[in-house]
Amino acid sequence: MITIIDYGLGNIQAFVNVYRRLHIPVCVAKTADELKGATRLILPGVGAFDHAIEKLDASGMRPTLERMVREEHVPVLGICVGMQILASGSDEGKLPGLGWVSGRVKGFAAVPELKGLPLPHMGWNDVQAVVDSPLFRGLEDDARFYFLHSFYFDCEDGTAGIASASYGHDFICAVAEGNVFGVQFHPEKSHHFGTILLKNFAEF
């Protein structure tokens, strides 16, 4: 069962609609009890890093998610800020992240190559898989996704990065570490490219 984690951030219904069109069973969890039976987890998110962590903590689901992801190895896909909070922390805030993927979130504003470019980075952009990942099966060439962000995931040793995009400079836009996956872009807003990626996550 694909379970969308509803902790008050992100367009939950958009993910539900995609999976229903694909005839893939999907449900929404707002409490720890509603996470039971999940075989895949999607962690969406919009807004600021600290606010997302605070909302997740306030939902009461974090301890159950920690157990499911860390001990039971249930696959999880973080999206946008949901990807960023997978890191150990962010230059945007002060709170520690989940630490499920080795790395830290950094701001585009501190990148010299981006001087003069508007922030946030918004709109469609090419995405290139940099390693062979089941998440990008069928998306190896000409994949485009919708972005809206001012911060990016800086992997600790580079091995977690599975796809990149370019905005003034190349940056990692998708990560994977064990059963934990994350994408900076919005697959739920990325038409058939996003549908393929969400289908891949459900089926691999």
Which tokens belong to 31?
């409490």
121 given a catalytic annotation: no
Among residues 80, 121, 149, 173, which one is catalytic? 80
72 given a catalytic annotation: no
Among residues 169, 186, 191, 192, which one is catalytic? 186
188 given a catalytic annotation: yes
Extended strands (E) in the chain = 2-5, 26-29, 40-43, 76-79, 103-107, 121-129, 143-149, 151-155, 161-166, 170-177, 180-183
Say if CB 53 and CB 88 are below 8 A apart: no
Say if CB 120 and CB 184 are below 8 A apart: no
Among residues 121, 149, 173, 188, which one is catalytic? 188
Active-site amino acid positions: 80, 186, 188
